[in-house]
Amino acid sequence: MSQRYIRALTAAGALPWMIPLVGDEPETMRGIYEALDGVFLPGGADIDPVNYGEERHARCDNSDLARDEVELMLVRWALVDQKPVLGVCRGLQLVNLAAGGTLYQDLSEQMPGAIKHDYFPFGGRYARDYLAHDVAVAERTKLAEIFGAGTLKVNSMHHQGVRKLGAELVASAVAPDGLVEGIESANGSYVVAVQWHPEVLVENDERTRKLFASFIEAAGDFRDQRAPLQNGEQMLAATR
């Protein structure tokens, strides 16, 4: 996994914990999850279509079922507990699947009218911070609070994307071809995910830094809100 994710998070005040892929040990995973104040989902390999009940398309690339299992587990718990979640690229797709949505396995072949989204940096053809296309940020959303509503130029390094939006999610940013590029929770909890890669834009864009800062602020608020409950549980345990 790119160190850029870690650097962007630590610069915003986070103490990142790397999560092991031990989904077959649910008690271990739950213990790790309980110690977290928020869940960050980075980019990476294609998500296996078995997770949304489809046969693998010929252009679906390598996937990692163990990672899929762990990340879906964490996000589903976080959605129930309203624990803050921030997702990037693959992370947006995971949030959508955790909420019951589906994906295009390959935009160029499965989405009518799709623009180019796969500006991969392989062989140095495109820089990771190349701003490939616009997205329209919807008004009255958390993304609008961070970036402002209207047009935003973003980088683009993906070939999969949201097909059916998950339950209790709203689209907060949309590409010119209609592809959902930003999602968030409809219930007001901090669940924010973007299809682009903000971790490579933080050095030169104050608004992108604000995205990571907003996540860390939400995680801190979550920690502070649950602290009295945890202290109460400890006191109750001590008096038994």
What DSSP designation does 55 have? P
Residues known to be catalytic: 89, 197, 199
Q: Do residues 8 and 198 touch, judged by C-beta distance below 8 A?
A: yes
Torsion-angle region of 200 (φ positive above 0: left; ψ -120 to 50: alpha; else: beta): alpha
Q: Is 63 exposed, middle or buried (0-12, 13-18, 19+ CB in 10 A)?
A: middle
Q: Is 227 exposed, middle or buried (0-12, 13-18, 19+ CB in 10 A)?
A: exposed
* Tokens coding 158: 């993906």
